[in-house]
């Protein structure tokens, strides 16, 4: 089949690669350059998503944990296991027994991952290994394993694999409209006919449907997530609870510095995507609550933000599903939602859907 995939973020790149591997002739259209948007602005975790267990998303977590391993195996130059510390304070919203059960389940769902199980560390041991953590009210900590990637480089690696499998990547090629008949209209006015179109425009997927006058059952919740990079090394990756909230945030090593994120701010339109002053203050406050050497905006070396294209499912963005969904209109399939970690599994599902309409 002659297939057009629209959007060279991780979802479009993996879909194009998988379809080419299945023998199709694929063109991947991107209006900017590959991996220029959401897929390079993530928290850089290849993870099952421990907190999604609270929302009962067991299928998603199991799939993501298995995909996490596949990324480590296939692209070890850009993806690696990461040991995280989860400190437990007396003031935590979640009791340690609940976290212990969650981590036990996480280990179970990760069976076969080859990574060690979670452990409990006493207060003494926690302080010994994390000398910059504040000690007041600290009871101890759990350690568990997830993964970290260089999202831009891993994404470009996927693009490269896709090209090697025969995908033609057409950058700087905006798509103005798509049609259920298989017609693609370019922003410059020309058009082309395909046997199948995949709309993988991420946060812009609904906008492309609207511009094409196609009504869809699914809609996207656009939730901005911002990060700050602090000009200091991160000796111990941590998962922490935002003070007085159930939300969690991460402090992670990133290119010799410390990546702190993220936030959840609803946006009505997919642009602009920039961290607000309030989000930056929120992240600085959260970090300073737990670490003894305080940071100010002077310690920030860079900031970035991305827009989560979440399938609309909850009034609280923190509880909104990270699952993906597909919607078909004739020869057009649109991808809604998804995670970086699960992009290849999503691409296999979409390929099956195309083979078995
Ligand atoms: C703050 C944040 C943190 C995250 N952290 C993680 C994490 O740690 N781990 C994880 O697994 N997931 C994470 N995610 C989720 C993950 O990053 C996204 O699910 C994923 O990157 C979405 O990829 P995408 O390809 O759908 O979108 P994008 O990467 O945005 O790609 C869509 C592409 O479509 C192009 N496009 C749009 N419209 C058109 C058009 N009309 N014509 C041509 N091209 C078009 C855009 O230019 C863009 O390049 C995070 C997301 C955010 C926002």
143 and 246 housed in the same domain: yes
Q: Does residue 51 sit within a domain?
A: no
Q: What is the CATH number of the domain that holds 329?
A: 3.50.50.60
112 and 159 housed in the same domain: no
Select from 14, 29, 37 the residue to mutate for testing ligand 1; criterion: most ligand atoms less than 8 Å from CB. 37
42 CB near ligand 1 (under 6 Å): yes
Average pLDDT for the chain: 94
Q: Does residue 72 sit within a domain?
A: no
156 and 298 housed in the same domain: no
Measured in angstroms, how far is the CA atom of residue 158 from the centroid of ligand 1? 14
**173-232 pLDDT per residue, tens:** 999 999 999 999 999 999 999 999 999 999 999 999 999 999 999 888 899 999 999 999
**289-316 pLDDT per residue, tens:** 999 999 999 999 999 999 998 887 666 6
Domain with 129 in it = 84-147+220-311
159 CB near ligand 1 (under 6 Å): no
**273-283 pLDDT per residue, tens:** 999 999 999 99
Q: Does residue 56 sit within a domain?
A: no
- For β-strands 168-170 and 183-186, DSSP reports them as unpaired
Q: Does residue 207 sit within a domain?
A: yes
37 CB near ligand 1 (under 6 Å): yes
204 CB near ligand 1 (under 6 Å): yes
**93-115 pLDDT per residue, tens:** 899 999 999 999 999 999 988 99
307 CB near ligand 1 (under 6 Å): yes
Q: Does residue 14 sit within a domain?
A: yes
143 CB near ligand 1 (under 6 Å): no
139 and 233 housed in the same domain: yes
**Relative to the CA of 201, which ligand 1 atom is closest?**
34
The residue whose C-alpha atom lies closest to atom 45 belonging to ligand 1 is 7
10 and 127 housed in the same domain: no
172 and 214 housed in the same domain: yes
Look at residue 256 in the predicted model and tell me its pLDDT: 97
Confidence of residue 320 (pLDDT cuts 50, 70, 90): low
140 and 239 housed in the same domain: yes
306 and 162 housed in the same domain: no
**222-263 pLDDT per residue, tens:** 999 999 999 999 989 999 999 989 899 999 999 999 999 999
Determine how many CB atoms are found less than 10 A away from the CB of residue 268: 5
Look at residue 54 in the predicted model and tell me its pLDDT: 87
94 and 113 housed in the same domain: yes
State percent of the chain over pLDDT 70: 97
Q: Does residue 238 sit within a domain?
A: yes
The domain tally of the chain equals 2
Q: What is the mean pLDDT of residues 336-352?
A: 95
Q: Does residue 30 sit within a domain?
A: yes
How many whole angstroms separate alpha carbon 152 and alpha carbon 327?
A: 28
172 CB near ligand 1 (under 6 Å): no
The residue whose C-alpha atom lies closest to atom 1 belonging to ligand 1 is 225
102 CB near ligand 1 (under 6 Å): no
Q: Does residue 70 sit within a domain?
A: no
């Amino acid at each position: 089949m002659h297939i057009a995939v629209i959007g060279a973020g991780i979802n479009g790149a993996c879909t194009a690669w998988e379809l080419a591997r299945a023998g199709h002739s694929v063109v991947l259209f991107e209006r900017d350059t590959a991996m220029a948007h959401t897929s390079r602005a993530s928290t850089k975790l290849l993870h099952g998503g421990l907190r999604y267990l609270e929302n009962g998303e067991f299928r998603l977590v199991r799939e993501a944990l298995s995909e996490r391993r596949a990324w480590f195996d296939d692209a070890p130059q850009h993806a690696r296991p990461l040991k995280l510390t989860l400190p437990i304070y007396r003031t935590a919203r979640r009791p340690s027994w609940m976290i212990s059960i969650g981590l036990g389940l996480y280990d179970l769902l990760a069976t076969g991952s080859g990574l060690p199980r979670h452990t409990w560390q006493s207060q003494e041991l926690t302080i010994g290994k994390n000398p910059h953590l504040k000690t007041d009210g600290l009871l101890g900590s759990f350690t568990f394993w997830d993964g970290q990637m260089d999202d831009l480089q891993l994404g470009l690696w996927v693009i490269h694999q896709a090209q090697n499998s025969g995908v033609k990547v057409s950058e700087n090629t905006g798509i103005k409209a798509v049609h259920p008949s298989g017609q693609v209209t370019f922003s410059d006015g020309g058009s082309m006919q395909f046997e199948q179109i995949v709309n993988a425009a991420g946060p812009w997927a609904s906008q492309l449907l609207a511009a094409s006058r196609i009504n869809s059952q699914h809609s996207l919740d656009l939730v901005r997530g911002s990060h700050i990079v602090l000009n200091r090394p991160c000796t111990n990756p941590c998962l922490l609870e935002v003070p007085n909230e159930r939300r969690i945030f991460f402090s992670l090593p990133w290119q010799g510095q410390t990546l702190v994120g993220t936030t959840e701010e609803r946006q009505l339109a997919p642009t602009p995507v920039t961290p607000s002053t309030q989000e930056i203050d929120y992240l600085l406050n959260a970090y300073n609550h737990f670490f003894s050497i305080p940071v100010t905006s002077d310690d920030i070396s860079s900031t970035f933000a991305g827009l989560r294209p979440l399938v609309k499912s909850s009034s609280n963005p923190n509880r909104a599903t990270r699952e993906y969904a597909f919607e078909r209109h004739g020869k057009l399939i649109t991808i809604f939602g998804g995670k970086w970690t699960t992009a290849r599994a999503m691409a296999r599902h979409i390929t099956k859907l195309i083979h078995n309409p």
